Amino acid sequence: MKPITRKRRSSGIAGVLMLIGVAIGLSGLAACKTSKEGTPEAYAPDEPAGTLYNEGLASLDAGKLRDAVKNFNEVDRQHPYSEWARKALIMSAFASYRHNKFNDTIATANRYLELYPGSPDAAYADYLIASSYFRQIPDVTRDQEKTTKAIAALEDIVTHYPDSVYVPDAQLKLVAARDQLAGKDMQVGRYYLEQRQYLAAINRFRTVVTQYQRTRHVEEALERLTEAYYALGLNSEAQTAAAVLGHNFPDSPWYKDAYKLLASGGLEPKENKGSWISKLFG
């Protein structure tokens, strides 16, 4: 992640996307598509920045996203550090995102933030980065590195752009991303439980109830803790897990399973106030 010490200002997505609606003055002029180094074209005068930028908008409007990215990047190449280049760079990131080129989006948006950290569109650049990681979140059975990066980027938006229009969507994405990580721990925990590696299973389920308490996996995690502790003969912890589950989710089918398991051994849910589970939910 980029340093968080840079100056930040929030802006509205509408302000960025209004750039798409700018009137297209000139069209039909081809942008450079290959390297011109060593060719006669290399010595040709640069095209006006506005012309290149409008070509990018025209391509974007026509759904030619690859061409749009090339046009916007050409503005930056021919007219670096200009106001046109600044606007073209964020539009290049946007076009790449629309084209589902998420790694390109991340690279371009990060470059934008390096060059223009105090820009009104800095919040949008960060939002594109976070959304790109979010769109690459894999199935729960696979490595969750992208999920972790998505969470870090989304939290960055909420923390550093609290008044931004992107915060509500970032918060929704955070819920989904955290649920994904909790789901991964649940998957691994179930595997350990099936293999009778109860301590390893407990560690996974404990992570869920401590770090992802607001996800949909908490009910099952408490029931699985009941199973694992009961299997180890740690009846007090098993009873506490079941009691906390019943107190917080009395209608949960997972509570019914936990209650039935304890009843099979002549026990019932009973909270031990000294348990880490009780303290966590106390």
Q: Per residue in 166-175, pLDDT tens?
A: 999 999 999 9
Residue 266 belongs to what H/E stretch?
A: none
Distance between CA atoms of 136 and 146, rounded to whole angstroms? 6
DSSP 158-208: HHH-TTSTTHHHHHHHHHHHHHHHHHHHHHHHHHHHHTT-HHHHHHHHHHH
Q: What is the pLDDT of residue 47?
A: 86
Rounding to the nearest 10 degrees, give the CA dihedral for residues 225, 230, 232, 237.
60
- For residue 164, the one-letter residue type is S
Helix axes 83-98, 122-135, angle to 10 degrees: 20
Alpha-carbon distance values, 276 to 37, 209, 237, 249, 281 (Å): 67, 11, 9, 18, 9
Which has more pLDDT, 20 or 247?
Answer: 247
Distance between CA atoms of 96 and 104, rounded to whole angstroms? 6
Which has more pLDDT, 7 or 233?
Answer: 233
Mean pLDDT over 111-120 rounds to 95
Provide the pLDDT confidence category of residue 87 given band limits of 50, 70 and 90: very high
Q: What is the pLDDT of residue 19?
A: 42
Structure letter (DSSP) for residue 261 = H
Distance between CA atoms of 276 and 183, rounded to whole angstroms? 22
Residue whose structure tokens are 């919040």: 123
Residue 240 belongs to what H/E stretch?
A: helix 235-248
Closest CA to 24 of 63, 5, 45, 50: 50
Q: What is the pLDDT of residue 23?
A: 32
State residue 24 phi and psi, 5-degree precision.
Answer: -90, 110
pLDDT per residue as tens digits for the range 179-235:
999 999 999 999 999 999 999 999 999 999 999 999 999 999 999 999 999 999 999
What is the per-residue burial (b if ≥16 Cβ within 10 Å, else e) of 178-201? bbbbbbbbbebbeebbeeeebeeb
Contact 75, 56 (CB under 8 A): yes
